[in-house]
Structure 1
Amino acid sequence: MAAASGGLDVALTLARAGRYVATALVIGLLLAALLHRAVAEAAADRPDASRWLRAAAVLGAAASLGVVPLLSAHGSDPRASLGDVVGSARGAWAIVAAAAFALLALLPRHRWWQGGRPAPAVLGALAAAVVALPLGGHAADGSPALVLVVVEIVHVVAMGAWAGGLAGLLLLRRAAGADDRRLAAALSRFSPLALWCVVALTAAGTLLAVLQLTTLYDLTDTGYGRAIAIKAFLLLGIVGIVVLQRELLLPRLREADGDAAPSASRDVRRALRGEVGLLLAVLVVTGALATSTPPRAAAPEPVRLAAEGGPPGGPGWRVRVRIDPARRGANAIALRITDRAGRPLAAAVRVRALPPNRGAAIGVPLTASGDGLLRAPAVRLDSRGRWRLELRAPRTAAGPIARELAFRVR
């Protein structure tokens, strides 16, 4: 059952990543075609992007349609049918995205452009595909929804222009006659836009993290937070390549002549491929983010702790602790002490909660409720961070108990 659930998670992540990749490619190919047209000396030198645009649109339509049955199989309610998913916001927006991409794929080649610019039908379909991503995801379910949706749209467009633009420049290079000097000219025009994309991505990503995370510990303790951390490290690597390319490789290519030109152009292409590869990895991680639940939207889950000990060969003891909801404020703490066979042990136990930064300990007044279970219904844990639960029971039939169990309060 767990393996099947894991397989569905992977499939849903890949389908959603396919939507992001397709959206980025359509945005980027249109942008790259405009850049190549701007640096082309003659109309005959302008590359034709329609073949790649159509392939990206087909990928987007297939990925968007694939999300719908995966959402049905992945849902928490086993009685939910495919029709229920289609009628939900996420399913409906996935259908909208599929229709938008299908329109792009079916447009005749001569309808993609109008007056040297993308046709209104192309821009309208692309806008629908972009808007469908946040409206059919966590942004629409969060709070404040409007802010999250707008920030997510900025995030998608900036990522699409950057990642898709670079991919488009590489894909259209051969269509433009494999002219590396023309590629360098297009990259020089693209560079200021890429810088603004980095600024927009940094601002949007930071705001999304602030609105979706509850604490910095979420970056290591939750799948959503770990995906954000991986994405940030990938983007740092990409920024390093961008700086290297802008400050060293492109100037060298522009100035190179004779025997140095092939080496300089090869280095630029390698840097571009590395940058595009890392950006595609970012888009896959973004698909994983769409599959996992943001910590702020997740229902609070109790923390469960366990410890055992006792003399070798003896009956031994086991302690099980539950802290609910392990968030700042009032928490219910329940504790059970048994021997290794699961039989309750009589013990006069003293429990204290030790806050972060070595603050004053908080006594936990436990009362027995039968079957070895001890409860404290409302213990105030008013600081976020790493707490320790100190357990002391000097005399039990299985030997003394003295343990500290670490847990986190969000």
Structure 2
Amino acid sequence: MTRHLFSLPRCLGIGLLGVMIGPACLQAQAQTMSATSSSAMPPGIERSSFGRLADGREVDCYRITNDNGIEMRVINYGGIIVSLKTPDRTGRLDDIVLGFDSIGDYLSETYRQANPYFGALIGRYGNRIANGRFTLDGETYHLPTNDGPNTLHGGDVGFNQRLWHVEPFSSAEGRGLVLTYTSPDGEQGFPGRLSTRVSYTLTDDNELAIDYRARTTRATPVNLTQHSYFNLKGEGSASVLDHELMINASAYTPIDETLIPTGEIADVSGTPFDFRQPTLIGARMGQKNTQLAYAKGYDHNFVLSKTHGQGDLPTLAARVIEPRSGRVLEVATTEPGLQFYSGNFLDGSLTGKSGRPYTHRSGLALETQHFPDSPNQPNFPSTILKPDETYHSQTVYRFSTTASEDLPHAD
């Protein structure tokens, strides 16, 4: 049977909240239950301690490997991907995501002040909500403002700072984790009790598939994403401005000086935001442009161009190539938007796993999403989840390499 690029494992979101599951999912679920009851991990997964929170709760770290040697480590605090090792064109493995080796680094005051959200699951609402408020069904809700006048990534204590319940699984579809968290009604000002389930699946096709699902007891905004920072030269390396980027988008949402969308959906043609053809990230960074000035680089939502005939399958949103290593990262999603962030506020104050500081623009984020501030922007796709609905979103990161003769010139 022909396998579609970016097709997702059938067991993603195993048995979520009454959703029907197939035989492969039942097999994975049975393996998970067996592993949980015996404290043994499924094949290809190891668990270890990552330290303790201030209240004494232990943080677990799960090491997941596929048959090709790709290795991912995830902690149950924030669902954070703390490391991801992939091969370059010679087969050498390097860790390509920014992060730390102990929970203390994620809890430090220096990290809290910088607040880069390295590798975390973001919710209940990823990106910004203007002035920390929105009106829904005639009632105005007030949220913590943690980014100037606005609410960013769910508020002061978002999903990135919660301890998630984790169930490991291993099946023919892949190896991974099912993470669950229930956000109480009123948490961070949001209405409704939100039951959230996220699956990470590492496949032998060198794909990391992420499946997001949620149900609510009251109408509420939901916008879940993953906030890993990538440097395809290896974490702790110099800036990502020499990475080549393609974004499958002919429009983007311009922002004001507080990084809130103006409501306009603008054509990328003739602007520094036209990445429809592969372009070095730094090629136009120095241009005199109000949008780049507001964000101190790229920190903008791109309106993705969907491929017709793909149904509900994730479609290609972005591709990143690092010329020297030959590493390629492709991102596919069912979401309508992609936030490209060029690491503008990394300043060297944080030291990563390699022992090297994370300097200015030494990582990039590609956050699949609905649009920022959608609860206050009636012309944007709705992010309101109702009690009779299931939130469902899928994103796939695919890792590969390219031969040197296929590379564009990087100078």
Q: Structure 2 length as normaliser, TM-score? A: 0.23
Greater length-normalized contact order (CA 8 Å, ≥ 6 residues apart): 2
Which structure: larger Rg? 1
More strand per residue: 1 or 2? Answer: 2
Structure with the higher helix share, 1 or 2: 1
Q: What TM-score do you get using the length of structure 1 for normalisation?
A: 0.23
